[in-house]
A = this chain, B = another copy of it.
Amino acid sequence: MRYFAVMTDRAPDPARRSERARRAILEAALALCRERGYDGTTIEAIAAAAGVGKQTIYRWWPSKGAVIMDALNEAGVTSAAFGDTDDVRADLRKQMTSVVRLMNDSQFAPIYRGIIAATQSDPELAQVLRERLIAPRVAACAARLRRAQQEGQLRPEVNAETLVEVLYGPLYYRLLLPGRRLDRALVDTVLDVVFAGAGLAPGVTVTAGAPAARR
């Protein structure tokens, strides 16, 4: 480290300077979103707060939405990685619980809700949200579900991408619609219903983990 420090005393390493600027931009973007909301945040303000020129931002990101999405990605969404043990239900529970934690985080949640709100009337931002934040996570979850289907832990004929929506839909419902507070208990109920079903229709017998069917 000392060697590099000496080296950079005269000629600062451009890669390190770039990384410092990049982090300053992402941190400024989040701080401004927290303060003014997504709509009130501008590229100009991010540049000023980060101490860089507007052109530096546009060299790395195509739009304000893209900067803020990357800022969100780095700020916390990375904590919600997928487990890959032999127990798909435990892996889902861990991941979904970390999503609940993020959705209740007073730093993250208002910005995320603000971005989803803005996408309702901004198709370009919706595309950025899809590509940078949602699609990679849906793909990771669907891949985990498909492995569980191959291993006989989940019915193979249920579409994995739709199952992702059944699992996470109730979390987003509580995040975006006024009503009940999003909590970890929701994750357990959703997993209980998705794995065992809520039905007691004639012909379907649940023999463990649930009370016997009533006739």
Contacts and interface: CB of A to CB of B under 8 A. Distances in A.
A208 B203 CA distance: 5
Interface in A158-215: 158-159, 161-163, 165-166, 168-174, 176-180, 186, 189-190, 192-211, 213-215
Given A134-B179, A152-B214, A195 B201 contact: yes
| Chain A interface extent, by class | 35 or more
Interface string A142-169: 0000000000111111110111011011
Q: How many copies of this chain are found per oligomer?
A: 2
Interface stretch (A10-18, A95-103, A110-118): A110-118
Contacts of A196: 197, 199, 201, 204
Interface of A: 37, 89, 113-114, 116-121, 126-127, 129-130, 134-135, 138, 152-159, 161-163, 165-166, 168-174, 176-180, 186, 189-190, 192-211, 213-215
